[in-house]
């Protein structure tokens, strides 16, 4: 059945009031029992059995991951192969298109700007996003490598903790934004990590096969399910994906102070840290090229320098060759990523729940 009939204002107004009950129920227990956060952070993967001594919410949450049976093995293997071939370009699109594009969606940006780490410690935040992507696209992820389940579970709980703290402590939260990190925002984020990446490749003139589009969209459908996203609204094909993104963009793309703060922090970080001068000296023109006129205007990005998509594609390819060598693949990308993090922070950045003070 076509999903297009679901892509209506009234449906998505409703989604703005729905969050993630399974994760939020566990968060209420984590607040009462912060030692459970320490326990989760100590895991390498979710244990094969969750003991009955843990709170019921804890058991229900992690048994959701342990009891998965309808795993799309073919999609996962093909998606991981695509990342093995194009991982550097995937990460580049996340940084220069997906994340800044999400900043232009005003109501969702209101959540992000309330996370002070995104503004004050943006390098670590971006590094953690990269770690998330590498975990879920690692060869064998969700199949023989079970860490991917724990990574999704922890990110999902981080969303839940953010919802909790906004609900209890953000006195400036406006109900017109919808509930924080609601289903519409989660769907939009999933689109930015899938459809927008594909769109960025096409903007640079790279050939993307229709099968690759289908595989990546189905891959993120699975990841979305692991992240607590309502599956009934996820597109089945490219036409539905286009219409879904258009609907969310029409509803939420706007100029906000939150979006401006986020994009300026990102630009400042890129200019200070990207070693390739071909990229670091042209941050605004590159962002302007990917985002387009409407989103660039919403974020206050101005550039009179025209960018050639084909030339930019060559720059990103050359940068990937410089960083990963001629035998570029998942292993080389992950190794270089970890090396960069060790040099910057003295550790490999892992997804961790924020530790709470025990009362």
User: What is the chain's mean pLDDT, rounded?
Assistant: 93
| 196: CB partners within 8 A, 6+ apart | 93, 97, 98, 101, 245
Q: What is the pLDDT of residue 162?
A: 94
Write the pLDDT tens digit of every residue in 183-211: 999 999 999 999 999 999 999 999 999 99
Contact between 40 and 58 under an 8 Å Cβ cutoff? The reply is: no
DSSP letters spanning 207-254: ---HHHHHHHHHHHHHHHHHTT--GGGS-SSHHHHHHHHHHHHHHHB-
Looking at residues 282-310, what average pLDDT do you find?
A: 93
| 137: CB partners within 8 A, 6+ apart | 79, 80, 83, 87, 90, 330
With a cut of 60, say whether residue 359 has pLDDT above it. no
Q: What is the pLDDT of residue 127?
A: 92
How far is residue 91 from each of residues 1, 20, 145, 272, 319, measured CA to CA in Å?
A: 33, 27, 21, 18, 12
Q: What is the pLDDT of residue 325?
A: 67
Q: How confident is the model at residue 348 (pLDDT cuts 50, 70, 90)?
A: confident
| 89: CB partners within 8 A, 6+ apart | 201, 206, 316, 317, 320
With a cut of 90, say whether residue 302 has pLDDT above it. no
- Number of Cβ atoms within 10 Å of the Cβ of 72: 16
**Using the 8-state DSSP alphabet, how is residue 143 labeled?**
T
**Of 62-71, 94-103, 239-248, 326-335, where does mean pLDDT reach its minimum?**
326-335
With a cut of 90, say whether residue 276 has pLDDT above it. no
Contact between 340 and 322 under an 8 Å Cβ cutoff? The reply is: no
How many alpha carbons lie under 13 Å from residue 267 in its C-beta half-sphere?
Answer: 20
What is this structure's pTM? 0.95
Measure the CA–CA gap between 162 and 189, rounded to whole angstroms: 15
Residue 54: its H or E element = none
Q: What is the pLDDT of residue 326?
A: 67
Measure the CA–CA gap between 286 and 279, rounded to whole angstroms: 8
Strand partners, 253: 105
Name the nearest CA neighbour of 264 among 49, 77, 124, 118. 118
Contact between 192 and 184 under an 8 Å Cβ cutoff? The reply is: no
- Number of Cβ atoms within 10 Å of the Cβ of 244: 22
- Domain ranges for the chain, please list them: 73-142+169-345
Q: How confident is the model at residue 86 (pLDDT cuts 50, 70, 90)?
A: very high
- The two tokens of residue 249 are 């963009």
With a cut of 80, say whether residue 119 has pLDDT above it. no
Residue 18: its H or E element = none
Residue 170: its H or E element = none
Q: What is the pLDDT of residue 345?
A: 87
Write the pLDDT tens digit of every residue in 208-255: 999 999 999 999 999 999 999 999 999 999 999 999 999 999 999 999
Q: How confident is the model at residue 132 (pLDDT cuts 50, 70, 90)?
A: very high
Cα R_g (the chain), whole angstroms:
20
Looking at residues 301-330, what average pLDDT do you find?
A: 84
Can you list the alpha helix ranges (DSSP code H) found in 94-192?
99-103, 106-113, 116-120, 122-137, 147-169, 183-192
Q: What is the pLDDT of residue 321?
A: 72
| 22: CB partners within 8 A, 6+ apart | 60, 61, 64, 228
Phi-psi region of 140 (alpha: psi -120 to 50; beta: other; left: phi over 0): left
Name the nearest CA neighbour of 298 among 242, 244, 243, 258. 258
Looking at residues 72-83, what average pLDDT do you find?
A: 98
Q: What is the pLDDT of residue 161?
A: 96
Q: What is the pLDDT of residue 318?
A: 82
Name the nearest CA neighbour of 75 among 213, 199, 209, 198. 213
Distance of CA 353 to the CA centre of its chain: 16
């Amino acid at each position: 059945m076509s999903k297009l009939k679901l892509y209506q204002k009234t449906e998505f107004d409703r989604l703005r009031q729905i969050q993630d009950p399974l994760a939020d129920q566990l968060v209420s227990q984590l607040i009462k029992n912060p030692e459970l956060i320490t326990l989760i952070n100590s895991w390498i993967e979710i244990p094969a059995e969750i003991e009955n001594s843990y709170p019921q919410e804890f058991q229900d949450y992690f048994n959701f991951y342990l009891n998965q049976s309808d795993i799309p093995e073919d999609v996962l293997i093909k998606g991981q192969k695509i990342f093995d071939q194009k991982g550097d370009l995937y990460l580049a699109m996340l940084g220069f298109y997906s994340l800044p594009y999400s900043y232009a969606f005003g109501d969702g940006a209101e959540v992000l700007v309330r996370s002070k780490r995104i503004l004050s410690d943006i390098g670590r935040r971006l590094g953690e996003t990269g770690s998330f992507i590498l975990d879920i696209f690692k060869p064998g992820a969700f199949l023989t490598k079970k860490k991917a389940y724990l990574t999704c579970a922890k990110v999902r709980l981080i969303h839940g903790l953010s919802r909790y703290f906004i609900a209890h402590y953000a006195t400036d939260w406006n109900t017109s934004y919808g509930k924080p990190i609601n289903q519409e925002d989660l769907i939009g984020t999933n689109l930015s990590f899938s459809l927008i990446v594909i769109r960025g490749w096409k903007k640079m003139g790279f050939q993307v096969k229709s099968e690759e589009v289908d595989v990546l969209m189905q891959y993120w459908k699975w990841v979305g399910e692991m992240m607590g996203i309502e599956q009934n609204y996820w597109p089945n094909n490219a036409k539905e994906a286009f219409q879904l993104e258009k609907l969310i963009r029409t509803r939420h793309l706007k100029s906000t102070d939150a979006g401006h703060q986020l994009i300026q922090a990102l630009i400042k970080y890129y200019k200070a840290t990207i070693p390739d001068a071909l990229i670091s000296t042209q941050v605004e023109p590159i962002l302007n090229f990917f985002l387009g006129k409407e989103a660039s205007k919403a974020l206050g990005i101005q550039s009179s320098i025209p960018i050639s998509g084909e030339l930019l594609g060559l720059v990103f390819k050359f940068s990937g060759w410089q960083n990963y060598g001629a035998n570029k693949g998942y292993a080389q990308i992950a190794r270089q990523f970890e090396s960069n993090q060790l040099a910057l922070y003295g550790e490999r950045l892992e997804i961790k729940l924020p530790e709470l003070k025990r009362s």
